[in-house]
């Protein structure tokens, strides 16, 4: 592109030279004027170049920030869309069946999220009758959406009671659940269902620290089993909780 500014300046300089010489001005004066004009022009060009360079850098930085933000958003969207469904990662088939039941039967009462992760707080297991294995506990359901490297709880709840299973040729099958009722029927039905384990039940539901420990460990094992980059979980209005190390192979032995 032709630089009109430079052409105009050159014409002015030539005109000034002709005028000065024709008027009998000394050569020294002519050189002085020429030097001043040239210096001003160089300074102006330098300032223009610096301004253009600064503007270019600003545009480049803005584009870089927008690109990084867009990539981060896309990563979160892809991660959320591909977040694997929860499956019990331990070696015990018994618990695989139990956890699946919690997700399918209890999880259906909540709005779906990126992933549903159960948290059974087991109080007692009675395996004396293989046709009616009983698992007494406070069975929690938690639904999470993924936000960066944090699982954010969106819904969930507690479902205390006794789950009945039976042994089959293929493994185990859930045959039903005796659930503690809400409201004024809570305590009477809890006593009826838990029987001799009622006091243990009351003690367990009051130990929120233990419940949170179990919850965090279950999430950590899920993350490890699926090779995810999740580092914490968070409830609404609370700070994120950093996940512990996984202990898939010894989960229940450690907690019991």
Bridge partners of residue 125, in order along the sequence: 135
Report the alpha-carbon distance of residue 19 to residue 25 in Å, rounded. 9
Report the alpha-carbon distance of residue 83 to residue 89 in Å, rounded. 15
pLDDT, average across residues 119-126: 98
What does pLDDT average to over the chain?
Answer: 82
pLDDT, average across residues 47-76: 55
pLDDT at residue 82 in the model: 81
The highest-confidence range among 49-53, 217-221, 251-255, by mean pLDDT, is 217-221
pLDDT at residue 62 in the model: 55
pTM value > 0.85: no
Tokens of 222: 């899920």
pLDDT at residue 251 in the model: 85
pLDDT digits (tens, 9 = 90+) for 152-182: 999 999 999 999 999 999 999 999 999 999 9
Segment (H or E) for 104: none
pLDDT at 30 over 70: no
């Amino acid at each position: 592109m032709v630089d009109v500014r430079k052409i105009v300046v050159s014409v002015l300089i030539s005109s000034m030279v002709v005028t000065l010489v024709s008027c009998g001005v000394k050569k020294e004066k002519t050189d002085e004027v020429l030097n001043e004009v040239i210096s001003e022009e160089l300074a102006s060009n330098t300032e223009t170049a610096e301004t253009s360079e600064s503007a270019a850098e600003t545009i480049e930085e803005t584009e870089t920030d927008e690109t990084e933000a867009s990539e981060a958003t896309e990563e979160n969207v892809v991660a959320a869309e591909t977040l694997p469904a929860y499956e019990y990662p331990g070696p015990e088939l018994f618990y695989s069946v139990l956890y699946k039941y919690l997700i399918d039967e209890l999880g259906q009462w909540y709005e779906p999220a990126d992933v549903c992760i159960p948290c059974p707080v087991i109080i007692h297991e009675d395996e004396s009758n293989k046709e009616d294995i009983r698992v007494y506990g406070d069975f929690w359901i938690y639904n999470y959406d993924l936000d960066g490297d944090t699982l954010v709880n969106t819904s969930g709840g507690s479902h205390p009671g006794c789950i009945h299973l039976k042994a089959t040729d293929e493994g185990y099958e859930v045959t039903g659940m005796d659930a503690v009722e809400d409201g004024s029927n809570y305590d009477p039905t809890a006593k009826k269902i838990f029987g001799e384990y009622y006091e243990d039940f009351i003690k367990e539901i009051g130990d929120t620290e233990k419940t949170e420990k179990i919850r965090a460990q279950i999430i950590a094992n899920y993350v490890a089993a699926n090779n995810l980059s999740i580092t914490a979980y968070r409830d609404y209005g609370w700070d994120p909780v950093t996940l512990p190390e996984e202990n898939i192979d010894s989960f229940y032995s450690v907690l019991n």
